[in-house]
Structure 1
Amino acid sequence: MVLDNNDEFDFPGPGAWDDSDGARPVNPAASSNTGDAGDAREGSAAGEGGGVQEAPKWANLPVADAGIPGARKRKKSLGEILVETAVISREQLDEALKVQQATGKGQKLGQILLEKNLISEEDMLRALAAQLDLPYYTRLPLNDIDPALVEQIPISFCRDNKLLPVARDDFNVTVAVADPLNIFPLDDLRLILSTNINIVVSPPSIIDASINRVFERSNDDSKKAIDELNVPEIGVDEDLEETRDLLESTDDEKPIIRLVNGLLTRAVKEKASDIHIEPYEAEIVVRFRIDGALHDKMQIPKRHGSSLASRVKILGKLNIAEKRVPQDGRINIKVAGRDIDVRLSVLPTAHGERIVMRLLDKTSGAKRLDQMGMEEDLYKVWTSLIEQKHGMILVTGPTGSGKSSMLYASLMHINSTDINILTIEDPVEYQLPGVGQIEVKDKIGMGFAEGLRSILRQDPDVIMIGEIRDGTTAGIAMQSSMTGHLVFSTLHTNDSAATVTRLMDFNIQPFQISSAVLGVAAVRLVRKLCQSCREAYEPNDRELQLLGVTRDKLQGGKVYRAGSGCERCQNQGYSGRLGVYELMIFDDLLRETIIKSQDAKAIKRVAIERGMKTLRESAMAKVVVGLTSIDEAIQKTQTDDLDLGL
């Protein structure tokens, strides 16, 4: 949608699509009320992180002119509006007009301004709303949208045409649109709803996010489906459309299908990393792991456990008749336009099949290194480390501590066209452009060691091994790092110093470790305090000792703890997670210590003396600035209690 500077429109405004006149557009000026600049109609910006916020009810939002005086009183060109609102200068407009004239008006002015990066798409949309005398909103009143209205319209229609019905009264439906010049879908919508259409304008990103939230709420069928499971016949339906968006589920589908779809949709909406379906003697409990902690979500009658397990196993292409042995599978689904990879594990128990589904949002992609939450000095040291030409770099921590994210971010940082990066992973979690990624397939004898041997014949510069699990893999990786390759990998140890002794357990000699390893990073994820409901308090002397600071170093002498919860954090007190890091650099003194001593505590003591900040210290630094709580920092760094004598 690109406009010419000299284009003027007689375009339908509020109430313009009348069912009686064949949807013929009329001049909005005839039916619109005037409003002053800066009217409440525009609303405020989207919330933190680009989220959608609810605006006041539509009845309280008067028709205005998108904050641009005089737009309604006289027709203005798009270029004039952009100049008057100081989006572009008169000189920039004149220059763009010259370009347009040189192309024989074959190119629209708006396109020229966009290509020159003089305006954004939102600038153009805001100016267009003013020119057409249409309301412009940067928020939509999601809580006031009637679910019955939404259910009449396919989600694909709303997504494809960037529109969303947001309100209705006895005679009209108000529709938010991202392209007010595209009248054809509005005409279709008038026929679908059999009513008149009023339009308001909103940015495409706000409409997309609103569509997802509204349809998620409308189609959260899990609880309703449980009630409907009381019917005698419960089919599991073997047909599977993997590419269909689960938000398009309909009431015509079998209850068990809508139950599973509802669970997956709800888990994605709540940013859960895992879904646990746990059969017990009297009932089936469903729990979501959110920000590292499990939360009860619902109970399902025990008699439906077999149907539920069968439906999930069908999705994962598993054998539904086999209920005696564990099975693993994979499901590819789409929720709210996002591609989700689901890793499925089914385990027979005394009360039925226990199911765990791990969710990976492939659409979001891996984080960049500068998004990992490292402190500035640590970031500089780490980037210097991973830019070396050869050697071994290890990341350690328990399952779910952020090791893979750290490796992916590091590979993305060093990736360039003049190096060859190859990985062997189990599984491949994110697709990295320009990186050759190989997935472990143990069933056909393609393990880490076998894959690593093959990678070495592919002329790699950088190798990433998802995990060192045995002595064979450790030995090949160590040898590779000493023959001109930069090798990244992970280990399961409690801290960075324990990595040295773990390698020794794999029969790697101390002199090999000291020669090959460049550094080890221990990582943890701590929950981030909800910034809306966190509570400030004065720490006691014991807590100050743990923080390692005096009271006068704290802002107002206080720190924060989790509050009682709010809507933003789903009443948990925490929202999101942060990385905390312990980086042990292998300098000459530390290498000498490793050769002389095989004691992890002695190695750690020397590393601390050389300036290493421990996991506990890193976590407490997050407490001081109000990002997490003391309780959370202690819980996630418990290994330091013994090492430091706390």
Structure 2
Amino acid sequence: MAKEEKKDSKSRFGEILLEYGIITHDQLKKALRRQAQVGGHVGSILEEMCFLDEDSLLSFLSKQLNVPPISLFRTRIEPSVLNLVSFEKVKKFRVLPVKEAGGKVSLAMVNPNDISAIQDVEFAVGRRVEPIVTPSYQIDKAIAFFDKSGYGSDTFDGEQLRAGITPVEAVSVPDVYSLLRKVLDDKATDLHITVGVPPSLRIDNDIKRLPMSALTPDQVKEMCYGVLSEEQKEIFHRDNEIDFAVTLSDAGRFRVNVYKQRNSFTLAARLIVDEIPSLAELALPAWLSEFALKRQGFILITGPSGHGKTTTMSVLIDIINSRRRANIITIEDPIEYLHKHKKSNVNQREIGPDTTSFAVGLKHIFRQNPDVIVIGEMRDAESIAVALTAAETGHLVLSTMHTLNSTTAIDRIIDIFPGLQQHQVRMQFADSFLLVLSQRLIPKKGGQGRIVAVERLINTHRTRSFIRGNK
């Protein structure tokens, strides 16, 4: 309901401009079409598209919201005023302090009716806030300017923003590789690029938008094509999605997925740390190394997506690689952590370049003389069947699965098979599994960062009996 009211409000504003003859039907139609693509306020879009001059926009915003207007393009702000409000709050609320006088702070706002923002700033500065309306795109440009040039150290001159205005048709496409480097710089884990909003980073499991303009369909398409090879483009056009990895010499390795949504391109990239961490660095229990060094059996790591299963599995592989002379064969989609040969030989195979699927890659794996078999993710009955057979016949098998806890993982493995096979699979799993480790990343006390919490299910006489008896 709130969304409908917001949309109606934006439409009414356009209709008011139309009624007063400020814009034409065709101009409003084009602006609304662009608004549907990139979001934002219709008045700001009309001015960006040169359908509405700045003074007319400011006048209408002031009348509609019943507060004074301000153009940031014609404003100078001293550092002492800027430093009244932290840059974090400027970005969070899309506001900017512009003047201090008479115990009041004049605050340029996109939404002067945002009471929570006003109260938050008043509490922070210890003064009464006087809201002033400014176009949304001017605030966005100011935030982008401060993000690049620094905030609060020098006098802000709005003419610098005006000089940087580019016609909408000529807006440059953000560089994907620069955004990937920003993931590392901002201690983020993921980059999200989608139509209608600025590029976003995932920091401490929260999505945080960068202070940039919302992306258009053409921009996102060009950004996605910029990281795809010709062969990958063919796969993407065939399947409408593709997984692959990107390596930057100065930023590390990323797992990337490009896919379609609402007939537009979208990109998600996750940072893969170059150096494989230790158990201690991840706050994982030391007893895990005992299981990694077993010669035979099945280790399954479970948990929700994005909670570190692949990282944990890579740590176990590195323990084996560092302390045992073995032939390790992995099948991954895609390869995330690159393992150097230490005491073991590590042969990493990727779905696509090296084999067509997990099932096909596992079909002939016993002819490759493995001691350790690593299956990136359990997805189908064929892969699970090979994993159980391998664990029974003298191999150590490691894999992951998306489930909420250890017992759910066992049910998932058994239920994926037809009813007549389930008893046999239950017996195989009960005899061959070493450990089912369920993990989840939870916020640290105080909310800064996350730490891993684990649940373990170990193969004991009692657990074997429960699994065999379907209890």
State the shift of 1:433 in Å.
Answer: 1.6
Determine which structure has more spread, i.e. the larger CA radius of gyration.
1
Match of 1:241 in 2: none
Match of 1:580 in 2: 453
- Would the alpha carbon gap of residues 329 and 401 (structure 1) be closer, same or farther in structure 2, given more than 3 Å must change? closer
Distance in structure 1 (CA, Å) of the matches to 2:390 and 2:219: 50
Match of 1:230 in 2: 167
- Would the alpha carbon gap of residues 504 and 332 (structure 1) be closer, same or farther in structure 2, given more than 3 Å must change? closer
Match of 1:358 in 2: 269
Match of 2:259 in 1: 346
Match of 2:297 in 1: 391
For the 8 Å contact 1:256–1:311, the answer to whether it is kept is yes
List per-residue Cα deviations over 1:22-50 (Å, max 9, x = no partner): xxxxxxxxxxxxxxxxxxxxxxxxxxxxx
For the 8 Å contact 1:341–1:360, the answer to whether it is kept is yes
1:29-40, aligned counterparts within 5 Å?
A: none
Name the aligned partner's letter for residue 206 of structure 2: A
Q: Alignment partner of 2:226: what SS?
A: helix
1:405 to 300, 311, 323: 311
Match of 1:269 in 2: 185
2:435 counterpart of 1:519: yes
Q: Alignment partner of 1:484: what SS?
A: coil
CA RMSD across the alignment: 3.3
Name the aligned partner's letter for residue 242 of structure 2: D
State the shift of 1:268 in Å.
Answer: 2.3
Q: Alignment partner of 1:369: what SS?
A: coil
For the 8 Å contact 2:332–2:348, the answer to whether it is kept is yes
Match of 1:451 in 2: 361
Distance in structure 1 (CA, Å) of the matches to 2:382 and 2:453: 31
2:189 counterpart of 1:316: no
State the shift of 1:476 in Å.
Answer: 0.7
Consecutive unaligned residues of structure 1, counting only runs of 5 or more, are: 1-215, 235-254, 530-561, 563-572, 600-646
For the 8 Å contact 1:260–1:308, the answer to whether it is kept is no
For the 8 Å contact 1:274–1:289, the answer to whether it is kept is yes
- Would the alpha carbon gap of residues 273 and 229 (structure 1) be closer, same or farther in structure 2, given more than 3 Å must change? farther
2:340 counterpart of 1:418: no
Distance in structure 1 (CA, Å) of the matches to 2:452 and 2:403: 17
Q: Alignment partner of 1:315: what SS?
A: coil
Q: Alignment partner of 2:435: what SS?
A: strand
Distance in structure 2 (CA, Å) of the matches to 1:226 and 1:483: 71
Q: Alignment partner of 1:422: what SS?
A: strand
2:394 to 480, 484, 501: 484
- Would the alpha carbon gap of residues 396 and 232 (structure 1) be closer, same or farther in structure 2, given more than 3 Å must change? closer
For the 8 Å contact 2:245–2:335, the answer to whether it is kept is no
Amino-acid identity (%)? 25
Q: Alignment partner of 1:477: what SS?
A: helix
Match of 2:246 in 1: 332
Match of 1:460 in 2: 370
State the shift of 1:436 in Å.
Answer: 2.6
Q: Alignment partner of 2:468: what SS?
A: helix
Q: Alignment partner of 2:442: what SS?
A: strand
State the shift of 1:300 in Å.
Answer: 2.1
State the shift of 1:357 in Å.
Answer: 2.6
Distance in structure 1 (CA, Å) of the matches to 2:289 and 2:409: 21
State the shift of 1:589 in Å.
Answer: 1.2
2:219 counterpart of 1:307: yes
- Would the alpha carbon gap of residues 395 and 260 (structure 1) be closer, same or farther in structure 2, given more than 3 Å must change? closer
1:509-588, aligned counterparts within 5 Å?
A: 509-529=425-445, 562=446, 573-575=447-449, 577-588=450-461
- Would the alpha carbon gap of residues 449 and 226 (structure 1) be closer, same or farther in structure 2, given more than 3 Å must change? farther
State the shift of 1:218 in Å.
Answer: 6.5
Match of 1:500 in 2: 410
Match of 2:173 in 1: 256
For the 8 Å contact 1:425–1:437, the answer to whether it is kept is no
For the 8 Å contact 1:440–1:451, the answer to whether it is kept is no
Distance in structure 2 (CA, Å) of the matches to 1:444 and 1:374: 32
For the 8 Å contact 2:255–2:334, the answer to whether it is kept is no
- Would the alpha carbon gap of residues 273 and 331 (structure 1) be closer, same or farther in structure 2, given more than 3 Å must change? same
2:201 to 288, 296, 301: 288
- Would the alpha carbon gap of residues 342 and 419 (structure 1) be closer, same or farther in structure 2, given more than 3 Å must change? closer
State the shift of 1:361 in Å.
Answer: 4.0
For the 8 Å contact 2:181–2:251, the answer to whether it is kept is no
Match of 1:432 in 2: 339
- Would the alpha carbon gap of residues 436 and 453 (structure 1) be closer, same or farther in structure 2, given more than 3 Å must change? farther
Distance in structure 2 (CA, Å) of the matches to 1:231 and 1:354: 20
List per-residue Cα deviations over 1:400-451 (Å, max 9, x = no partner): 1111111111111122452211111111111112243333435986211221
Distance in structure 2 (CA, Å) of the matches to 1:327 and 1:425: 17
For the 8 Å contact 1:425–1:438, the answer to whether it is kept is yes
Q: So what's the TM-score if we normalise by structure 1?
A: 0.43
For the 8 Å contact 1:287–1:298, the answer to whether it is kept is no
State the shift of 1:592 in Å.
Answer: 0.8
Name the aligned partner's letter for residue 305 of structure 2: T
State the shift of 1:500 in Å.
Answer: 1.6
Q: Alignment partner of 1:519: what SS?
A: strand
Distance in structure 1 (CA, Å) of the matches to 2:291 and 2:284: 14
For the 8 Å contact 1:360–1:429, the answer to whether it is kept is no
Distance in structure 1 (CA, Å) of the matches to 2:161 and 2:258: 26
Name the aligned partner's letter for residue 266 of structure 2: I
Q: Alignment partner of 1:389: what SS?
A: coil
State the shift of 1:515 in Å.
Answer: 0.7
Consecutive unaligned residues of structure 2, counting only runs of 5 or more, are: 1-146, 152-159
Match of 1:120 in 2: none
- Would the alpha carbon gap of residues 227 and 287 (structure 1) be closer, same or farther in structure 2, given more than 3 Å must change? farther
Q: So what's the TM-score if we normalise by structure 2?
A: 0.57
Distance in structure 1 (CA, Å) of the matches to 2:173 and 2:413: 48
Greater relative CO, 1 or 2 (CA 8 Å, sep 6+): 2
Name the aligned partner's letter for residue 270 of structure 1: D
Q: Alignment partner of 1:414: what SS?
A: helix
Q: Alignment partner of 2:326: what SS?
A: coil
- Would the alpha carbon gap of residues 261 and 422 (structure 1) be closer, same or farther in structure 2, given more than 3 Å must change? closer
2:280 to 358, 370, 374: 370
Distance in structure 1 (CA, Å) of the matches to 2:198 and 2:210: 8
Q: Alignment partner of 1:279: what SS?
A: coil
State the shift of 1:583 in Å.
Answer: 0.8
Distance in structure 2 (CA, Å) of the matches to 1:495 and 1:371: 23
Distance in structure 1 (CA, Å) of the matches to 2:294 and 2:162: 56
Name the aligned partner's letter for residue 173 of structure 2: I
List per-residue Cα deviations over 1:242-296 (Å, max 9, x = no partner): xxxxxxxxxxxxx425x5454333222112222222324xxx3432112222123
